[in-house]
Amino acid sequence: DEYLPGLEATVELPDGAARAVVLVVPGGGFSAADPTGLLPLGEDLAAEGIAAVTITYGHAGTDTFYPEPVDQVRCAIAYAAAQAPEVPVVVVGHSAGANLAMLAGLQPLRTDVTCPYEPRAADAVVGLAGPYDVHRTYIGEDLFGVPQAEDPETWRAGNPLTWAAERAEVPTLLVHGTSDELVPVEFTEQMAAALTEGGHDVVTVYPNGARHNDVFLSDWVLEDLVRWVDDVVLAPAED
């Protein structure tokens, strides 16, 4: 299926009623967005009773730059909500996708973008090995399309740390492998500290020995993710 023209979405629904729906956002350094490796996670979430929608989005390889990728993820949140109505929507992003998930989850909803679904804010955000501080990365120009010196305000707006104090009611789960060879663990530690200071409920998990592309594999993350959804995201609704 397509959630927007040219942008695919793979929907996995549980056999019974879903208790939550997860939107899965792949990484790719803002120059690609191949969801293939994350599809098994969606299948396994559905087997656990949680609906999953795995997407792709525009990026530098398609001449798509901030804020359009965030707007597309935000529209995908609304699409995911339509697949499993009346349950919480959790946005899960890996690597660069974690940045987009954080931005789409924390920035205020925009009404000036075209999306064919009822607007829906994320109820929770999960970041897997995100390079959150774009000022410290070498991939920022692929997100913004311009060097930081040429448009510092856009770089500031597209930095997840800028929004760490927004929507404090949104809980976050941050996962980062201790053996990540691409994105240092310090990125997640910095984001966790900023979110905590901003008033968010933050849970961090550092799987021992996990590399960058391990943390979206079910063997490494499924148990922690499902437990967090049940204990943190769903628990308030059950009180």
pLDDT in tens, 80-110: 999 999 999 999 999 999 999 999 999 998 7
Q: What is the pLDDT of residue 190?
A: 98
Backbone φ and ψ for 138, nearest 5 degrees, come out as -100, 5
What does the pLDDT read at residue 236? Answer: 64
What are 60's two structure tokens? 């530098």
Sites in the chain below the pLDDT cut of 50: 238-239
Q: Helix (H) and strand (E) counts for the chain? A: 8, 8
Beta strand extents in the chain (DSSP E only): 2-4, 7-12, 21-25, 51-55, 89-94, 124-128, 172-175, 202-205
d(CA 152, CA 155): 5
